[in-house]
């Protein structure tokens, strides 16, 4: 796990920087995400709220869009950062869990952070048990 420390630090820093750029004028709850793609590149996203609330985007969704636009199709690891140390844990919402599942295996690590750093790590299968994914649609 020690060899992953610099990579984790890099992903946490990328999610922290993305969080600072979030557009959250309504909730004032900024979230950033950083994805390690199959190529080894890092893709970031931030939540982008909209006055027409359902039209907003979550940080994870924004990062997935950046990954796909760049040509990667697999998530190797994801970091989600939201809130302050005293805030409740900010895990991906249900919709983002399904979006992550589209591009990640059940054992893909999801690291949840706050402004101070890592709070808890999960694998996707824990956050989205018995998920429905691309493998359910084999033809």
Q: How high is the mean pLDDT in each 10-residue block of the chain (139 residues)?
A: 79 97 96 98 98 95 98 98 91 97 97 95 97 87
- For 105-110, which contacts have Cβ atoms below 8 Å and span 24 or more sequence positions? 106/131, 108/75, 108/76, 108/77, 108/78, 109/77, 109/78, 110/77, 110/78, 110/79, 110/80
Catalytic residue among 3, 49, 60, 84: 60
Sign of the CA dihedral with 110 first, then 113, 118, and 119 last: negative
**Predicted TM-score of the model (pTM):** 0.94
Tell me, yes or no, if 60 is annotated catalytic.
Answer: yes
Q: How many CA atoms lie within 13 A of 42 on its CB side?
A: 17
């Amino acid at each position: 796990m020690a060899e992953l420390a610099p990579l984790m630090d890099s992903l946490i820093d990328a999610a922290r920087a993305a969080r600072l750029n979030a557009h959250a004028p309504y909730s004032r709850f900024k979230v950033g995400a950083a994805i390690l793609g199959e190529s080894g590149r890092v893709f970031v996203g931030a939540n982008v709220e909209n006055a027409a609330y359902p039209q907003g985007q979550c940080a994870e969704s924004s990062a997935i869009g950046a990954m796909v636009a760049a040509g990667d199709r697999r998530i190797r690891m994801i970091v989600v950062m939201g809130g302050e140390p005293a805030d409740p844990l900010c895990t991906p919402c249900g919709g983002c869990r399904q979006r992550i599942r589209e591009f990640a295996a059940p054992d893909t690590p999801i690291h949840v952070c706050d402004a101070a750093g890592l709070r808890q790590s999960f694998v996707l299968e824990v956050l989205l048990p018995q998920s429905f994914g691309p493998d359910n649609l084999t033809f």
